[in-house]
Each structure stands twice: as C-alpha cells, then as structure tokens.
C-alpha cells in the first residue's frame, strides 16, 4: 500500500522533515519506527517506507488523531492517542523515532530515546527555542550520537544517529563538511 501525501509539494512547512527522513531511508533499512505526533506528511511517509512496524502516538488533539487514523490503513500500523503527556514514552524498541509531538515532550523524548540507545532520532522544528532543544546538547556526546541539522527549508529538522556512515553521507551530500 502506498500513501502519497508526503510526495505533495509542501508550501506549509509541515513536511520539511521529509528530505531528512528520505535521506535516512535511502541509506539505512528501517524495520520499526515510532512517531511522536502524527502528521499527513510524516505518517504517510513512515507507512510507505518502514519495513515492518510503525507506532504513531498523538498527544495534542483527539480530532487530529481521528483525522489521521481515518485517512490511512495498514496492518503494520499501530496508533494511539494519549492526553497523559508522559505516556508517550511507553514505546517498543525501534530503529527510528520521529519527534514532532507535544511541545513539552520533545526535548525529553529525544533524551529518553538517547538513553535507550535508539540508533536514529529525527527531531522537527529545531529552530524554535521554546521546545527546549538547548537541553539536549549535553546528551548528544554523552550517549555517543552524531548530529546534523537540515536547514534548507523551515521548520528545520535535526538528525541524531549513532551511525557514523549515515552522518558522513548526510554531511557530504548536504553540507560538504
């Protein structure tokens, strides 16, 4: 089953994380993924590209949750809505986590994923200081992650990975660093 919403031209910025995700999927096989915060671009992309299982967790709006879950169907997809802010951290081990959910959970979600050793973490809206991303910096080195920010389209997207080959490929392709 193919979901094409992520292929639409995005003038809203809501899909600005798709180039980073696309690059990862071109270089790494992702069998399982968790998505904090559902979206028409991200959910459809993950359902199309992830090999085995996708877990989507929406925590901001029951209406939005219903909009997205009514739009897509897939046997590899599990999803849930929780208004209990910390319940989002109850997720299985996975190859990739996309963090694009409730504002107060974003930085904490990244640190929690790093503590668990999740190999690939993608963080959306990284140019916004009010998400608390400045709290992440000390954990990147502590837990052995490399990072690269995609700034070609706002909102920005940052990739944290333990995969040195992946980060080198990103830097070579996009940043010549």
| 113-162 pLDDT per residue, tens | 999 999 999 999 888 887 888 889 999 999 999 999 988 888 999 999 99
The pLDDT assigned to 2 comes to 43
Evaluate whether the domain defined by 16-175 bears CATH number 3.40.50.150.
yes
Q: Please work out, in degrees rounded to the nearest 5, the angle formed at the alpha carbon of residue 119 by the alpha carbons of 76 and 155.
A: 80
Largest Cα separation within the chain, whole Å, is: 43
The pLDDT assigned to 1 comes to 37
Mean pLDDT (whole number) for 12-24: 85
Q: Which residue has the higher pLDDT, 87 or 138?
A: 138
Specify the residue for token string 């929780």.
82
If residue 47 lies in a helix (H) or strand (E), which one and from where to where? helix 40-49
Q: DSSP of 70-102, one letter per residue?
A: HH---TTEEEEE--SGGGGG-----SEEEE-S-
Name the β-bridge partners of 81.
Answer: 58
Q: Which residue has the higher pLDDT, 101 or 29?
A: 29
The pLDDT assigned to 127 comes to 86
Is-contact 80 54, C-beta < 8 A? no
Least confident interval from 1-5, 12-16, 99-103, 159-163: 1-5
Is-contact 150 120, C-beta < 8 A? no
88-117: pLDDT as tens digits: 666 778 999 999 988 878 888 899 999 999
Is-contact 33 96, C-beta < 8 A? yes
45-84: pLDDT as tens digits: 999 999 999 999 998 899 999 999 999 999 999 999 987 7
pTM of the model: 0.91
The Cα-based distances of 152 to 16, 24, 155 in angstroms read: 9, 16, 9
Q: Rounded to an integer, what distance in angstroms lies between the CA atom of residue 174 and that of residue 144?
A: 22
Name the residue ranges covered by the structural domains of the chain.
Answer: 16-175
């Amino acid at each position: 089953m193919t979901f094409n919403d992520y292929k639409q031209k995005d003038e809203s910025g809501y899909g600005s994380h798709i180039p980073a995700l696309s690059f990862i999927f071109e270089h790494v096989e992702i069998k399982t993924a968790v998505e904090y915060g559902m979206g028409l671009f991200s959910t459809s992309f993950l359902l199309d590209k992830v090999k085995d299982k996708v877990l989507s967790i929406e925590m901001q709006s029951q209406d939005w949750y219903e909009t997205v879950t009514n739009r897509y169907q897939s046997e590899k997809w599990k999803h849930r809505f929780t208004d209990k802010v910390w319940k989002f951290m109850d997720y299985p081990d996975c190859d990739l986590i996309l963090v694009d959910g409730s504002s107060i959970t974003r930085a904490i979600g990244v640190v929690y994923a790093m503590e668990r050793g999740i190999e690939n973490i993608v963080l959306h809206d990284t140019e916004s200081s009010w998400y608390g991303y400045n709290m992440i910096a000390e954990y990147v080195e502590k837990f052995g992650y490399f990072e690269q920010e995609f700034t070609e389209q706002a909102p920005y997207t940052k990739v944290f990975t333990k995969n040195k080959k992946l980060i080198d490929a990103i830097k070579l392709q996009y940043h010549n660093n």
